[in-house]
Amino acid sequence: MLDRISYIRSAFRWEPRRRGASRVLLPNVVDTHSAASVSIATSMFEALDVPRDVDGPTTDAGAALEAGVQRLLDDHLNEIDPLREWHVERYRSISTYEQYAHLERLNALIASNPTYRVEIGRDYTIAPDVVVGLRSRVDSERPLRLHAAVSCKWTIRSDRVQNIRHEAVLMIRHRRGRLPHIVAVTAEPLPSRIGAIARGTGEIDAVYHASLGALKDAVASGPWADQRDMLDELVEQHRLFDLGDLPRALAD
């Protein structure tokens, strides 16, 4: 498996958090109200040798994850298959890709007509966190085709689950042509929360964890039978993979 941690290491950070009446150093993925989250995340960070350096530069973990995933895919997709013209970007609107070009025309109509704005009343153009485009091998003049859309969520909360599903449903319903790969990447320590988006919903292909090996070890070493059962289910049913598997999955 390729070294994916080097791409996203800057996202991992211990930070002072309040627990009860005191402040303690905790991983920046924890939900302080969940003992399981604190325990599993702490074990993960220790296994990954995340330094307890709170005096270093502050990092937006979500942005660092997105940038790391972009670099990971850009480097390794070109390495795995250099014959294809890969375009890995962040926040590029899906309407600029071949399967969704009609959405730009639809948005122009909505913007120009008050009646349409009232009746339709929504923006169909979305810009996923990381997108992978491919150039046609037989016609270089055609627009890029959207090959993959990657939603990066440092942690999983109910609003983030809904955001992932909303984007996925729009891409499924409104494409004209081949459906792109739709995946999510997270560092969430609680398998039960990962399951909220990963379990058999059909909107996404799979979820990729920033460090699945460390998560497995952390869950196995604690008294969290429900979390262990959920993690086993997600892995056995091929709903959860390690981030290091993502470039190969997209290239294949």
Q: Would you give the end-to-end CA distance of the chain in angstroms?
A: 15
* pLDDT reported for residue 120: 58
Q: For the whole model, what pTM was predicted?
A: 0.92
* pLDDT reported for residue 4: 84
The pair of three-digit structure tokens given for residue 160, joined into one six-digit string? 């983030």
Residues of the chain with pLDDT under 70: 1-2, 20, 54-57, 109-112, 114-124, 201
Closest to 12 (Cα-Cα) out of 39, 52, 40: 52
Give the contacts of 193 (CB within 8 A, at least 6 positions apart): 155, 156, 157
189: helix, coil or strand?
coil
With vertex at residue 246, the alpha carbon angle to CA 243 and CA 248, rounded to the nearest 5 degrees, is 135
Q: CA 95 to CA 126: how far, in whole Å?
A: 8
Q: Where are the alpha helices (DSSP H) in the chain?
A: 5-8, 35-47, 61-80, 101-112, 114-119, 158-174, 191-198, 212-220, 225-236, 246-251
Cβ-based neighbour number of residue 166 at 10 Å: 12
* pLDDT reported for residue 160: 86
Give the contacts of 211 (CB within 8 A, at least 6 positions apart): 5, 44, 47, 48, 187, 242, 243
Which residue(s) pair with 138 in the sheet?
none
Closest to 126 (Cα-Cα) out of 165, 184, 181, 68: 165
pLDDT in tens, 217-229: 999 998 999 999 9
